Amino acid sequence: MAEEVKLFRTWSSPFALRIVWALKLKGIEHETIFEDLANKSSLFLQYNPVYKKVPVLVHNGKSISESLVILEYIEETWKQTPILPEDPYEKAVARFWAKFGDDKLLPSLWRVFVTQGKEQEEAIAPALENLKFIEEELKGKKFFGGETVGFLDLALGYLANLVSVLEETSGLKLIEAEKFPLLLAWMQNFSDVPVIKENWPPQDKLITKFQAIRETYLAAAAPK
């Protein structure tokens, strides 16, 4: 009996991209179902009634939510092309930094993006500090896992694309060559991997979308 693998996602979600990349790296055939989060389908809500967010992976009728959880499920279900190291300590380290990315790094970058003036100035230092932690993790490595793309590369993959979008829409340069040479080299190496390159969302559409998001945030924060 053939396996049924479905992925509920949006065209722009960096969290859903992690799953696309993992499935492609492992050669897993799947059906993609694009959701409109402003008008969620009943099927999508049935599969993810708790968070009601993408991505959701459905494997033989069973649903898994939350992108890092889905990555672990994919790794445990399909053993080909491993994305997590075998060593328990190295595995724990990869998980730690993936969670750091979601809990601290991405929110700090987002705060810089959706603010301006003094508030933005105050947000820059924490964002740069978090980026420095990631820079340190790349010492002596091409990818976070070594010579090939792994779990942490997929978890932080949005940096290779989304940061440039945020920089362009906010007019602020965060990742400069003199401060983050290893991170910039990784961003290029990661983007050059065929599976990654072939599945980026259109850059122009991302810029248009995030420009509108930024303007909405700034308008909401403006004095009335």
Question: Which tens digits make up the pLDDT trace of 8-57?
Answer: 999 999 999 999 999 999 999 999 999 999 999 999 999 999 999 999 99
Would 82 be classed as within a structural domain? no
When pLDDT is averaged across residues 168-193 and rounded to a whole number, the result is 96
3 state SS of 10: coil
CA 24, CA 199: separation in Å to the nearest integer?
A: 9
Question: Which tens digits make up the pLDDT trace of 63-78?
Answer: 999 999 999 999 999 9
Residues 113 and 192 in one domain: yes
Would 136 be classed as within a structural domain? yes
pLDDT, residue 223, reads 81
Residue the block writes with tokens 């499935």: 23
pLDDT, residue 51, reads 95
Strands (DSSP E) contained in 50-155 are 56-59, 62-65
Check whether 130 has a pLDDT greater than 70.
Answer: yes
- Measured in degrees and rounded to the nearest 5, phi and psi for residue 3 equal -75, 145
3 state SS of 159: helix
Residues 60 and 131 in one domain: no
Number of domains in the chain: 2
Residues 211 and 136 in one domain: yes
Residues 35 and 107 in one domain: no
Q: Is the dihedral of CA 76, 78, 79, 84 positive or negative?
A: negative
Residues 171 and 134 in one domain: yes
Residues 104 and 209 in one domain: yes
At position 84, the amino acid (one-letter code) is L
Q: What percent of the chain has pLDDT over 70?
A: 99
Residues 70 and 122 in one domain: no
From the CA atom positions of the chain, what is the Rg in Å? 18
Question: Which tens digits make up the pLDDT trace of 60-113?
Answer: 999 999 999 999 999 999 999 999 999 999 999 999 999 999 999 999 999 999
Residues 95 and 70 in one domain: no
Q: What percent of the chain has pLDDT over 90?
A: 96
Segments forming the whole domain that contains residue 107: 88-221
Are 19 and 7 a contacting pair, CB within 8 Å?
yes
Q: Tokens in use for 113? A: 């993006």
Would 210 be classed as within a structural domain? yes
Task: Give the H/E segment covering residue 215.
Answer: helix 203-221
